[in-house]
């Protein structure tokens, strides 16, 4: 069967044998976007976090059929080297990653949080950022999340001034 979805701003139609295939594998293997990671396959670690219509979703446990007609954003679409997302900018400034494998999932979870809670408190972060990082980068991540919130607010202020 065919499924159509918008991935990082581009409309994609994929031919899929099983509509219950997790979105993760369609993104990684069919569309060859490898930034979204497989960690556990049970929505327990968050390495596969991406956005579906702006909401953070653990794509290893999200059947692709539910993405029909929706907008999917992956780490590759969050920002790029020329135009980093404030979360990516903050991650770079705080030098957060170690092994780096879990980081796209954390950045996607953080970007989704900032859309809902532009200035999260430590408690907001504790409650919402519940992915697993084995290298133990949480300490820098927390600093980066606060920094990203500030960068995003600055960016919005600048944009509204320009308007």
Q: Which residues bind another protein (CB under 8 A)?
A: 17-18, 21, 25, 29, 33-42, 44-45, 47, 74-76, 79-81, 84, 88, 91-92, 95, 97-104, 107, 122, 125-127, 129-142
Contact between residue 61 and residue 41 where contact means Cβ atoms under 8 Å apart = yes
CB of 20 to another protein, least distance (A): 9
What does the alpha-carbon distance between residue 7 and residue 13 come to, in Å, rounded to a whole number?
Answer: 10
φ/ψ (deg, to 5) at 85 = -65, 150
In the complex with another protein, which residue's Cβ is closer, 35 or 71?
35
CB of 108 to another protein, least distance (A): 9
CB of 107 to another protein, least distance (A): 7
CA-wise closest residue to 2 among 64, 53, 95, 93: 64
In the complex with another protein, which residue's Cβ is closer, 76 or 153?
76
CB of 118 to another protein, least distance (A): 19
Dihedral angle of Cα 112, 124, 155, 108, to the nearest 10 degrees? -30
In the complex with another protein, which residue's Cβ is closer, 5 or 49?
49
What residues form DSSP beta bridges with 4?
A: 13
């Amino acid at each position: 069967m065919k499924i159509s979805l918008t991935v990082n701003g581009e409309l994609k139609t994929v031919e899929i044998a099983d509509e219950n295939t997790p979105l993760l594998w369609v993104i990684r293997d069919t569309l060859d976007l490898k930034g979204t990671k497989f960690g556990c396959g049970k929505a327990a670690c968050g390495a596969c976090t991406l956005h579906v219509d702006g909401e953070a979703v653990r794509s290893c446990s999200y059947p692709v059929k539910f993405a029909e007609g929706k907008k999917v954003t992956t780490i590759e679409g969050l920002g790029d080297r020329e135009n980093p997302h404030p979360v990516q900018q903050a991650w770079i400034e705080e030098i957060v990653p170690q092994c780096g494998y879990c980081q796209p999932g954390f950045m996607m979870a953080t970007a989704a949080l900032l859309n809902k809670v532009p200035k999260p408190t430590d408690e907001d972060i504790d409650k919402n950022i519940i992915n697993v990082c084995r290298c133990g980068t949480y300490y820098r991540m927390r600093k980066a999340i606060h920094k990203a919130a500030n960068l995003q607010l600055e960016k919005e202020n600048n944009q509204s001034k320009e308007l």
